[in-house]
Each structure stands twice: as C-alpha cells, then as structure tokens.
Amino acid sequence: MDIQTVEKTLSVKEAIESRHSIRKFEQEDISKENLTEIFELVRLTPSAWNLQPWRFYVVTDHQLKEKLQDAAYGQKQVTSAPAVVLVYSDMEDVIANLPEVVHPGLSPERQQEEVANLSSFFAGMSIEERGQWGLTQTNIALGFLLTAIQGLGYASVPMLGFDHEKVKEILSLPEHVKFAAMVPFGRQAAEGYEHHRFPLEKIVTFH
C-alpha cells in the first residue's frame, strides 16, 4: 500500500539518530491519515512464524488520558501528548485464530500442518509463558513504532512506568495481555537528553 500523507519523511538513519525521548508535546491533533500511515508501517514488523501478536490501543480522548496518567504515577507526558499508544501482546487471540497467520500461498494440506504444529507447540506452554513469548515479538513492533513515529515527523517517549493491571482495567483489556510499552507521542515541544550509549567495543563482537 502506497499512501503519501506525510509531506517530509526522514531516512532511517536520520530517524534513529534524531530520536530522543520527548516528554512535552504541541497541543495539535494528529490526523487520522497520519496515524494510519504510522500503523501501516508498524504492521510490517516481522515475527517468528509470522504470528504478529502485537496489538495497539490508541487513546486520544482527554479524560481517558487523564486516567492513564494516574495509572502512570502522574507522569505528565501522558496528558501532554495528543495521542497515547498502548503496545501490547495478545497471544491468546493469536492461538484462537491460527489459520489467519499461515501464509495463503501454501497448499491447504501444508496450511493444516502448520496450524497443527503451532497449536501443539503453544499447547505445551502456560498462558503466562505464551504471554512472555508474545512480548518478545511485540517489542520488535515497539522498535518499529518508535522509528516510524520519528521518521514521519513526530516525537515520542516509550514508557513502562505504569500500573499494568490498572491500565488493563481502564481499557477493558483481557487479563492475559502483556504490555510492551505506553507511548505518548505528538509534535515535539521540548528537547530530549543527549544520547548516552555504550561504545561499539562493549556491545559488538567482530570475528
């Protein structure tokens, strides 16, 4: 799908280098087109067996943002942002709809075989273990989301500092879902901190 709704996009290098956590945003709504464009990119995140366990709950309603801010121990970036995305994994939904994830190019026999294999693999895990497994994949989508937001001219801050049970209750999400992050985002209205990162020598081995 080729939708061009954002006038200027950053290169991947520009987006990654310019991204900082931003905690103050302009009071300007994000258009539905721009929101859609961001999630059209995030939708392309890869996952093991293509299971795509990530789900996104986008909150723009002010009263709901106030409740989320309370659940996030008062962190003010939540109501400052025009949009707040809850990024979460729902593996039980994936398991209940396994035929959806099997590639349509496979023969019907191969598709059935895939579904049976996946079913038996995940049947050997508890709901909690499946939730944790789904979270490993959903974190990949979180990385794509932060990069897409930045690349399309917005800024964000990923957050895990919130009461997860309270947020499930506020958004009426099932008990089994696992959050990768709460992500307030919008147009940047303050500077972030300078990047402070390990040098390559510490984190990369070349052999």
Chain contacts with ligand FMN (rule: CB under 6 A): 20-21, 75, 157-161, 181, 192-193, 195
Task: Please give the order of strands across the beta sheet that includes 155-156.
Answer: 54-59, 83-89, 178-186, 155-156
Given a contact cutoff of 8 angstroms between Cβ atoms, the answer to whether 96 and 53 are in contact is no
**Nearer of residues 20 and 43 to ligand FMN, judged by Cβ:** 20
Q: Which residue is nearest to ligand FMN (CB)?
A: 161
Nearest to 178 by CA among 64, 80, 89: 89
Distance CA 168, CA 178 (A): 9
**Nearer of residues 54 and 122 to ligand FMN, judged by Cβ:** 54
Q: At closest approach, how far in Å is the CB of 72 from ligand FMN?
A: 7
Q: At closest approach, how far in Å is the CB of 14 from ligand FMN?
A: 15
Cβ neighbours for 179, distance < 8 A, ≥ 6 positions apart: 86, 87, 88, 89, 160, 162, 164, 167
Q: At closest approach, how far in Å is the CB of 188 from ligand FMN?
A: 12
Given a contact cutoff of 8 angstroms between Cβ atoms, the answer to whether 146 and 45 are in contact is no
Q: At closest approach, how far in Å is the CB of 19 from ligand FMN?
A: 7
**Nearer of residues 193 and 206 to ligand FMN, judged by Cβ:** 193
**Nearer of residues 103 and 202 to ligand FMN, judged by Cβ:** 202
Q: At closest approach, how far in Å is the CB of 192 from ligand FMN?
A: 4
* Token output for 156: 């964000």
Other CB atoms within 10 Å distance of the CB of residue 100: 13
Distance CA 172, CA 177 (A): 11
**Nearer of residues 82 and 95 to ligand FMN, judged by Cβ:** 82
